[in-house]
A and B are shown apart, each in its own frame.
Chain A
Amino acid sequence: MRSRSRVQVEQLGEVRPAGRGRAAAILAVPVLSLLIPALATVIASAGGHSQLTRISAAIARFLLYYSGVFALLALTAAVAAGLLATDRAVMSPEHRILAQALHRTASLIGISALANHIMLEVLAHRARIIDGFVPFMAARNTFYMGLGTLASDLFIVIIVTGLLRRRFTSRRLLWRALHATAYAAWPLAILHGLLAGRSAKPYVDWSYGGCLAAVGLALVLRYAMIMRGRNAAPELPVPARGSPLPANMLDFEGAQLRGPGLRGPGLRGPGLRGPARSPLPPLPALPAPSVLAPLPEPRPAEAFPPAWRTTGEYQDR
């Protein structure tokens, strides 16, 4: 048995895979959006008259008032961008990549604002913790509060499965079905936003109505496109009938095509399509290699130094 070596081997030079910081940056958005208002609320509720307390109270009040609106706006943008990203008629692949990036970013902001909204509502004692997750449990305004909770739950499922999209390649239909529930969750969220809290101004009502109509129209268009795409014949370039070779091969200097099999009547006639085709003639070689030094004439055996005649010298012991 060999004693363990005392010399350590250091592992050096490892290249860190790109995009490790990306996950941290993505996670930072919801985490910060929860931490900052929570901190602000705690500081504000601690009381006092310092500048910090007043600022914290203002932040907490502002977010309590608007985070739900932000969530709804961001999720509206996410739904619109997601729908836009599926379009093939107007959007180029580059634009669709951009739309997908927008879709993801808007969803991230939306879910962060949603978490913020729920947390602040609970901290402000306008809802219980259970109301944030189980629908139709609220003490007052049960129906419209419940719609919000239901929409929130659906959005959480949609975003978690969206993050795990890679795992769903073998259950594509399941993923699509789950993701399509966004089209149900989003109107519920709008109803909740318009009717659960303070009464909205008319332009807000009109705007959301417009959004709903636009997305509805886009959905109908999308469905129509899918149907048409499925039924339409694929656009295929017409192959050159009768020619076994792609057209770009046939204009190769002529020199390569000298054999009778390629130039003869068989090229367009039935000969090439028929089952018994004569094998192609041997092709002439390409021009001589250029980087090689000129080769010597074959030398007679005695021109070799005696030591070069190596046959029979090898001993394999």
Chain B
Amino acid sequence: MLPVIRIGQARVTAGLDHRPRLDMAAHRAVFGFPPALPAAELVGICEQVDLRGRGGAAFPVARKLRAVLTATGQGKRRSVVVVNCTEGEPGSAKDKMLLARAPHLVLDGAMVAASALRASEIVVAVSGDGPHVSSVTDAVAADSALARKVRVVSVPDRFVSGESGALINAINGKPALPPGVKTLASDSGAHGMPTLLSNAETFAQLAVLAVLGPAGFATVGTAHEPGTVMLTVGGSVNRPAVVEAPYGVPLGHVLEVCGAQFPSAVLVGGYHGMWLRADVAYDAPVSRAGLAVAGGTLGAGVVLVLGQDTCPLGEVTRVAGYLAMQSSGQCGPCKLGLPGVSRSLEAIAVGAGGVDELEALRRATAGVRGRGACSHPDGAANFVASALDVFAGDLTEHMFRGTCGRPIRGFLPLPDDSRDQRLRVDWTRCRGHGLCGRLVPELIQLDEHGYPRVHQVPVPFWLSKEATQAVDMCPALALSLTEDKVKPQATAAASTLAELPGPGAFQPRQQPQAVLTGRAWRRADLDAAEAWLAELGGRDLGGQR
């Protein structure tokens, strides 16, 4: 579990510097009892502080609440509150941290919303295994009022499982895949009832807001975006951590606190987010408006730092391959387009692709936008397109030299896939019959000699049938599905740098439970930063999104 670092005032992380986990008693000692707010008042205070969903889309909570209230006839019919803690993003840990260490705060927020909406049920959706699951079940079991109302469900740990439509599908007993026909959760969600769905941090912030009131809530943060935000800072930093910081703090300060050293670029918003040049990233305030002006996005608060000693293109290629295989395989442009993007990147990264490959890459990236049931293709396209801009120099180097001379250290976090099955060719047997290229074009393309170029990614569930068929039909018995992970190609130039410190050098040191920084940010400072950015962007930041 990542350590927690706090900059400025304590909000959702209050009390975590004393306890590894706030049980019921400790939680009540820190936060007290949240007041029971009537629906109109809850909508009012959410609107006053412009509370937004913290899962990435930043949808105003007040509008969600209002939509559910309208659909239920002001609470006359039943509704459901869904706490989304699936957090499919590999770089994000804030929701898991909250459930593991402050579960009662999240549940308090859900209860505040549920009692205002007169919701009949609260569904807490988690994914994977870990302390967060047992922590939330223990927390629910510790309170009889919660135990009557809360249901904990676990969905498969995949990138798109946490998409709201996919999650609603899962709760309704269907496969956790994004639906093709969009219905608003607030109209017809879990069990067909109006549903308030937001992520775990949103409910924690809602609880804090209910306790502090809008005036108390807005004593930190900027004028347009009051309060604090939870970030997950990772990559090549000495202290990867979940950080609570007031809106408006310069990202550079957060990165310094987490021990980033001379980054070459910073990824904001996770794998659906965008790359920023290090100098831009250091100056940008941590706020939706600030990062948008800098050319990034706050998203779910994932900040990943890329150091100088790793090959940026190789890192981006790894993630692009992961994103391609995290498609749920439903929409053609995504399931065929993203592997194409990943393949082109791979070819350029190893020097096998020229300018035409770059052209193909740009076309493929642009071609997937807006053409899927969920925003996965768009997010992946943002990620790749911004990488092409920020790493333009490395791109040129790779195209002409085949390497930038740096090894791929794997600083960008990805789930462990070494046990997953991959397609593998026995080159001594392959005779270029080409049947495999016809059967799984997503994973195998034929080169100009007719021999397969196999995409070295785990075979996703939606391609297992085709991949098996390709293995069965290989006339030379050269293709197989194995668990062996094929090492990325090491270039001669890269191997000479092998003595550089590996990822182990960036292992976090033993940390106290929570680290506090001495800085108390004054409102005037944070607003000044926003004003400077407003001038820079030449537009009104309050109206962002």
Q: Chain A: which residue is nearest B482 at the CB level? A: A169
Q: If A12-B153, A93-B433 touch, does A310 touch B400 (CB 8 Å cutoff)?
A: no
**Chain B positions within 8 Å of A284 at CB level:** 396
Contact B395 A286 (CB under 8 A): yes
**Chain A positions within 8 Å of B58 at CB level:** none
Contact B516 A9 (CB under 8 A): no
Can you list 15 residue pairs at the A/B interface with Cβ under 8 Å? A2-B138, A7-B150, A10-B152, A13-B174, A97-B473, A166-B480, A172-B477, A236-B449, A249-B354, A249-B355, A283-B400, A285-B392, A293-B537, A314-B257, A314-B518
Contact B295 A293 (CB under 8 A): yes
Complex: A246 Cα to B22 Cα, angstroms = 62
**Chain B positions within 8 Å of A280 at CB level:** 400-401
**Chain B positions within 8 Å of A12 at CB level:** 153-155, 170-171, 173, 176
**Chain A positions within 8 Å of B109 at CB level:** none
Contact A315 B517 (CB under 8 A): yes
Q: If A17-B464, A286-B392 touch, does A93 touch B176 (CB 8 Å cutoff)?
A: no
Complex: A236 Cα to B449 Cα, angstroms = 7
**Chain A positions within 8 Å of B295 at CB level:** 291-293
Total B residues in contact with A, Cβ cutoff 8 Å: 95
A-B contact count (CB 8 A): 196
Contact B161 A13 (CB under 8 A): yes
B522 contacts A by Cβ under 8 Å: yes
Contact B154 A11 (CB under 8 A): yes
B525 contacts A by Cβ under 8 Å: yes
The CB with the most chain B CB atoms within 10 A, among A85, A93, A248, A285, is that of A93
Contact A169 B426 (CB under 8 A): yes
Cβ 8 A contact of A18, one of B150, B155, B465: B465
Q: Chain A: which residue is nearest B385 at the CB level? A: A291
A96 contacts B by Cβ under 8 Å: yes
**Chain B positions within 8 Å of A286 at CB level:** 392-393, 395-396
A313 contacts B by Cβ under 8 Å: yes
B-contacting residues of A (Cβ < 8 Å)? 2, 5-19, 22, 85-86, 88, 93-94, 96-97, 100, 165-166, 168-169, 172, 175, 229, 236-237, 245-246, 248-249, 251-252, 256, 280, 283-287, 289-296, 305-308, 310, 313-317
Contact A5 B141 (CB under 8 A): yes
Cβ 8 A contact of B389, one of A17, A291, A308, A315: A291
CB distance from A308 to the nearest CB of B (A): 6
Contact B176 A15 (CB under 8 A): yes
Q: If A172-B477, A246-B354, A283-B396 touch, does A13 touch B138 (CB 8 Å cutoff)?
A: no
Complex: A96 Cα to B393 Cα, angstroms = 45
CB distance from A107 to the nearest CB of B (A): 13
The CB with the most chain A CB atoms within 10 A, among B161, B252, B477, B480, is that of B477
**Chain B positions within 8 Å of A316 at CB level:** 515
B138-160 vs A, CB cutoff 8 Å, 1 = contact: the mask equals 10110000010011111110000
**Chain B positions within 8 Å of A229 at CB level:** 431
B516-545 vs A, CB cutoff 8 Å, 1 = contact: the mask equals 111101101100110000001100000000
B96-135 vs A, CB cutoff 8 Å, 1 = contact: the mask equals 0000000000000000000000000000001000000110
Complex: A133 Cα to B537 Cα, angstroms = 85
CB distance from A292 to the nearest CB of B (A): 4
Contact B355 A293 (CB under 8 A): no
Cβ 8 A contact of A306, one of B155, B174, B525: B525
Contact A314 B400 (CB under 8 A): no
* Interface locus among B212-220, B410-418, B434-442: B434-442
CB distance from B220 to the nearest CB of A (A): 13
Cβ 8 A contact of A307, one of B176, B177, B521: B521
B499 contacts A by Cβ under 8 Å: no
**Chain A positions within 8 Å of B426 at CB level:** 169
Q: If A96-B433, A286-B392, A307-B525 touch, does A169 touch B477 (CB 8 Å cutoff)?
A: yes
**Chain A positions within 8 Å of B175 at CB level:** 13-16
Q: If A2-B138, A166-B480, A169-B426 touch, does A10 touch B389 (CB 8 Å cutoff)?
A: no
